[in-house]
């Protein structure tokens, strides 16, 4: 049952983690996951025409899958599968596995890679979202009693809006529900009036918000006394130059979280040791790491790289099995002093964003990291101009880079050469860097920052 606030939540304020499952031994956890996996598949066998068809096409039965290892026999569910499902049976698709009378809430994806996906939830589903998100927020340093300024978008059904509000409330903190859509002035007024300990938001937007403080209120953002920034929704939280800038502007510790609308809002989160993001909801989400080319399952050992695949556990309305997230990650470790068990990760890009430049895979976030590290010669803002069909080019990759506010226009050629050299040395690709004026690109707002442009927005290189 959905509740406003978890019982006895204030007794957890000084706990090492929000729920004991986060620190469960791996053997014990695998047993719990396999029990829930079998129950979930039994449910789907009776409730999901979508998965009955998928399993039948693969020549497997639901009760053939008894263990985590058996999952490798099950075909992946792709984003295109979900698009086709939604088109065939709107509004929630053929993969809806609960009666419409049981649907109490819906959310929408951002639609950055196509039309938005609409996700249905039963009361039980909404309750598990609250719990998993609360664990993530707690790992990131939010505590019962905290005032938290909500700077994710509160509109359009995005999961960063209402679900995060519900989770903050559930874990005993107080959400200040202004949202990025409320505008900079209202957010800064709330900071001044309510002195939040925590600010939640997308990393690039929180940089913009901090930079606006000096212009609007004539003091640095550090004067607000914010102690913790919890960021997500885009890759910036895992980019060192972005994290360093955020921390310096706000004078606060930065922690990152991640999820996926089709599975849940938050189920990865970073603790105070900041060695990577922990899976905080292993009882609700079973995760695999695969080779993105072959689809083979990889062991989640130190430094392993691959794509995350998710299977929902204990889900009723829109459960997914072996869903390819498109998130490419590196395993940063397998043990942590915080006591949470299992691997830790950093996300370095998405399949939809990856470009192939003369045979070399490159993620725009890697380019952003290099350009961001060149501040104050640059503003840290860069856009990749992928003015070619698809994701592959045999030409030098074009990028647009804002020069720093005090960097001389006449020295643009030198800055261009240094950027091109650093990217070539770090990523083994050649780029054509075009230097443009500061503030050439729209400042971040309620939308996610798009690092890739498909056509030049009318900007010309400074010389």
pLDDT tens digits, one per residue of 86-145: 999 999 999 999 999 999 999 987 655 556 778 999 999 999 999 999 999 999 999 999
80 and 169 share a domain?
Answer: yes
Q: Does residue 292 lie within any of the structural domains? A: yes
Q: What is the CATH number of the domain that holds 421?
A: 3.30.300.30
Query: Of the given ranges (159-163, 193-197, 334-338), which has the lowest mean pLDDT?
Result: 159-163
Name the band, by pLDDT with cuts 50, 70 and 90, for residue 167.
very high
For 8-37, what is the mean pLDDT? 95
Write the pLDDT tens digit of every residue in 389-444: 777 788 899 999 999 999 998 888 899 999 999 998 888 888 999 999 998 888 77
Q: Does residue 328 lie within any of the structural domains? A: yes
Which of 296, 331, 351 terminates a domain? The answer is 351
d(CA 151, CA 185): 12
Range of the domain at 295: 1-351
Q: Between 344 and 369, where is the model more confident?
A: 344
Name the band, by pLDDT with cuts 50, 70 and 90, for residue 360.
confident
Which of 351, 379, 404 terminates a domain? The answer is 351
Pick from 362, 263, 380, 266: which is nearest to 319 by CA?
A: 263
d(CA 450, CA 58): 37
* Average model confidence (pLDDT) across the chain: 91
Q: What is the CATH number of the domain that holds 232?
A: 3.40.50.12780
112 and 5 share a domain?
Answer: yes
> pLDDT at residue 30 above 80?
yes
Q: Does residue 410 lie within any of the structural domains? A: yes
Contact 397, 432 (CB under 8 A): yes
274 and 406 share a domain?
Answer: no
113 and 193 share a domain?
Answer: yes
The domain total for the chain is 2
253 and 131 share a domain?
Answer: yes
Which of 302, 318, 351 terminates a domain? The answer is 351
Pick from 388, 362, 314, 407: which is nearest to 43 by CA?
A: 314
359 and 347 share a domain?
Answer: no
Q: Does residue 204 lie within any of the structural domains? A: yes
d(CA 4, CA 345): 31
Name the band, by pLDDT with cuts 50, 70 and 90, for residue 228.
very high
308 and 377 share a domain?
Answer: no
In whole angstroms, how far apart are CA 146 and each of 172, 197, 248, 372, 457? 8, 6, 22, 32, 42
Q: Does residue 460 lie within any of the structural domains? A: no
In whole angstroms, how far apart are CA 57 and each of 9, 41, 63, 290? 46, 16, 15, 22
The structure tokens listed for 424 are 């070539």
d(CA 406, CA 419): 17
> pLDDT at residue 201 above 70?
yes
Contact 210, 229 (CB under 8 A): no
415 and 321 share a domain?
Answer: no
Q: What is the pLDDT of residue 111?
A: 56
| Backbone dihedral angles phi then psi of residue 430, each to the nearest 5 degrees | -100, 135
Write the pLDDT tens digit of every residue in 289-302: 999 999 999 999 99
Q: Does residue 463 lie within any of the structural domains? A: no
Q: Does residue 408 lie within any of the structural domains? A: yes
Write the pLDDT tens digit of every residue in 244-292: 999 999 999 999 999 988 998 999 999 999 999 999 999 999 999 999 9
């Amino acid at each position: 049952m959905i509740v406003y606030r978890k019982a006895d939540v204030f007794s957890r304020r000084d706990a090492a983690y929000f729920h004991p499952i986060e620190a469960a031994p791996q053997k014990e956890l695998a047993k719990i996951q396999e029990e829930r996996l079998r129950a979930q598949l039994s449910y789907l066998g009776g409730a999901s025409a979508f998965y009955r068809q998928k399993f039948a096409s693969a020549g497997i039965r639901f009760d053939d899958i008894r263990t985590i290892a058996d999952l490798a026999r099950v075909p992946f569910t792709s984003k295109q599968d979900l698009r086709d499902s939604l088109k065939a049976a709107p509004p929630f698709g053929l993969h809806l596995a609960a009666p419409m009378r049981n649907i109490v809430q819906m959310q929408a994806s951002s639609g950055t890679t196509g039309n938005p996906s609409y996700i249905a939830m039963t009361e039980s589903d909404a309750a598990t979202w609250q719990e998993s998100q609360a664990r993530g927020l707690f790992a990131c340093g939010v505590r019962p009693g905290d005032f938290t300024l909500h700077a994710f978008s509160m509109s359009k059904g995005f999961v960063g809006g209402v679900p995060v509000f519900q989770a903050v409330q559930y874990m005993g903190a107080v959400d200040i529900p202004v949202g990025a859509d409320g505008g900079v002035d209202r957010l800064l007024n709330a900071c001044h009036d309510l002195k939040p300990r925590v600010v939640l938001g997308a990393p690039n937007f929180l940089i913009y918000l901090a930079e606006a403080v000096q212009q609007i209120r004539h003091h640095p953002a550090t004067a607000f006394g914010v102690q913790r920034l919890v960021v997500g929704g885009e890759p910036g939280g895992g980019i060192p130059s972005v994290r360093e800038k955020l921390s310096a502007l706000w004078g606060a510790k930065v922690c990152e979280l991640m999820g996926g609308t089709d599975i849940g809002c938050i189920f990865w989160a970073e603790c105070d040791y900041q060695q990577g993001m922990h899976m905080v909801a292993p009882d609700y989400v079973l995760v695999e790491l695969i080779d993105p080319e072959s689809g083979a399952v990889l062991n989640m050992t130190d430094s392993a790289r691959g794509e995350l695949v998710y299977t929902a556990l204990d889900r009723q309305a829109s459960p997914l099995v072996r869903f390819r997230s498109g998130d490419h990650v590196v395993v940063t470790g397998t043990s942590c002093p915080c006591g949470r068990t299992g691997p830790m990760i950093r996300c370095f890009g998405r399949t939809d964003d990856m470009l192939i430049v003369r045979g070399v895979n490159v993620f725009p976030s890697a380019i952003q990291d290099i350009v961001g590290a060149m501040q104050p010669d640059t503003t840290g803002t860069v856009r990749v101009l992928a003015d070619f069909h698809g994701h592959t080019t045999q030409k030098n990759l074009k990028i647009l880079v804002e020069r720093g506010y005090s960097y001389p226009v006449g020295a643009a050629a030198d800055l261009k050469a240094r950027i091109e050299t650093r990217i070539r040395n770090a990523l083994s690709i050649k780029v054509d860097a075009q230097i443009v004026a500061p503030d050439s690109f729209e400042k971040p707002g309620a939308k996610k920052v798009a690092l890739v442009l498909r056509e030049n927005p009318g900007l010309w290189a400074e010389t």
